[in-house]
């Protein structure tokens, strides 16, 4: 219900900017465009975002360890196997998209696969699968579409002027003010939608992979790198920033004035508390079968996940791509 209200607020902002462009007629046209965008996003959200980031699909032959991680996690989460993609970007990051679990896709950057250990990659992909499990991906992609459209319409009003209604007490000043404030309002709604979901995805992702510390370590590494390693595609499409596990924007633009994600420190603290709660209560009993390259081990007290390590943080091994 909360997400539906937030999406309705985004649509209302879009209609308000439409009014500034063309009065009542413009508002109705904006409403129809918003409805069409929602329908388009429903059926094409995955293709749209993946194309925007130049993602390429991989399989068991082209990326066996990365694909194996996602396959094992999807099975543990009770999800259909999603399509698996790689983004050519030095910034470590990842996102999920798709209208439902049956049509989901997950994508990780080459920077993430090269920088993080296998345990940490598993934690990140488990977080993304948690978004799929919670049906977050459709909502987040539609939000990105409408928020981006609001920004474009607001730019149009600002540079070319909008509808002038003599009965309006605001006139040109009101139009300019609305053109400036509409993108900020859309960003705040976008931020609210994302923030309500990140903590839940962190928790569910940690439960799926069984290693809250590995996910916490991955968040710390990604957040540390995102500030100084640019993601050019994200900088060009800031309305999609909330799709990623960590805000991919460098902060060099005003688009990063309001963060679309909760503070990484707070997310890590929540994961460490979850780790404490899970400590001493093994998730598994008996022998644990791991994907190729991970070996096997027996679950013991303090060992909660099938991704290596002994519950004392992320392993020091190299990532799935070496």
Pairwise CA distance, residues 209 & 195, whole Å: 22
| Count of helix runs (H) and strand runs (E) in the chain | 9, 6
Q: Tell me how long the chain is.
A: 322
Pairwise CA distance, residues 306 & 286, whole Å: 12
Out of 128, 166, 211, 235, pick the active-site residue.
Answer: 128
Strands 83-87 and 94-97: unpaired
Asked if 287 and 301 touch (Cβ cutoff 8 Å), the reply is no
Q: Is 65 a catalytic residue?
A: no
127 carries a ligand binding annotation: yes
Pairwise CA distance, residues 232 & 247, whole Å: 13
Task: Specify the long-range contacts of residues 20-27, CB closer than 8 Å, at least 24 apart.
Answer: 20/157, 20/162, 20/163, 20/175, 20/178, 20/179, 21/153, 21/156, 21/157, 21/162, 21/163, 22/162, 22/163, 23/163, 23/165, 26/163
Cβ contacts of 280 within 8 Å, gap of 6 or more: 301, 302
Token reading at 58: 């991989």
Query: Catalytic residue numbers?
Result: 128
Q: Give the residue numbers of the binding site.
A: 127, 131, 198
Residues of the binding site for Zn(2+): 127, 131, 198
């Amino acid at each position: 219900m909360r997400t539906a209200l937030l999406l309705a607020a985004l649509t209302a902002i879009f209609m308000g900017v439409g009014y500034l462009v063309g009065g009542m007629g413009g508002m109705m046209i904006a409403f129809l465009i918003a409805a069409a965008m929602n329908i388009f996003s429903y059926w094409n959200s995955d293709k749209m975002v993946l194309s925007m980031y130049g993602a390429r699909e991989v399989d068991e032959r082209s990326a066996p360890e990365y694909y194996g991680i996602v396959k094992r996690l999807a099975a543990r989460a009770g999800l259909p196997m999603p399509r698996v993609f790689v983004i050519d970007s030095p910034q470590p990051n990842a996102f999920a998209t798709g209208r439902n679990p049956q049509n989901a896709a997950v994508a990780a950057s080459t920077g993430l696969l090269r920088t993080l250990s296998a345990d940490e990659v598993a934690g990140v992909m488990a977080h993304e699968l948690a978004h799929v499990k919670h049906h977050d991906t459709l909502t987040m992609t539609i939000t990105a579409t409408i928020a981006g459209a609001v920004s474009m319409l607001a730019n149009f009003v600002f540079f070319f002027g909008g509808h002038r209604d003599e009965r309006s007490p605001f006139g040109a000043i009101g139009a300019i003010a609305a053109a400036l404030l509409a993108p900020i309002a859309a960003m705040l709604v976008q931020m609210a939608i994302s923030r309500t979901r990140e903590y839940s995805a962190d928790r569910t992702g940690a439960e799926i992979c069984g290693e809250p510390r590995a996910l916490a370590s991955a968040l710390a590494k990604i957040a540390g790198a995102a500030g100084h390693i640019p993601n050019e595609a994200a900088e060009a499409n800031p309305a999609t920033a909330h799709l990623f596990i960590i805000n991919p924007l460098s902060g060099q633009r005003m688009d990063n004035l309001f963060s679309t994600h909760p503070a990484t420190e707070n997310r890590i603290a929540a994961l460490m508390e979850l780790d404490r709660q899970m400590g001493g209560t093994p998730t598994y009993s008996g022998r644990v079968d791991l994907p190729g390259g991970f070996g096997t081990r027996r679950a013991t007290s303090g060992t909660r996940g099938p991704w290596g390590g002994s519950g004392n943080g992320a392993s020091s091994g190299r990532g799935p791509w070496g």
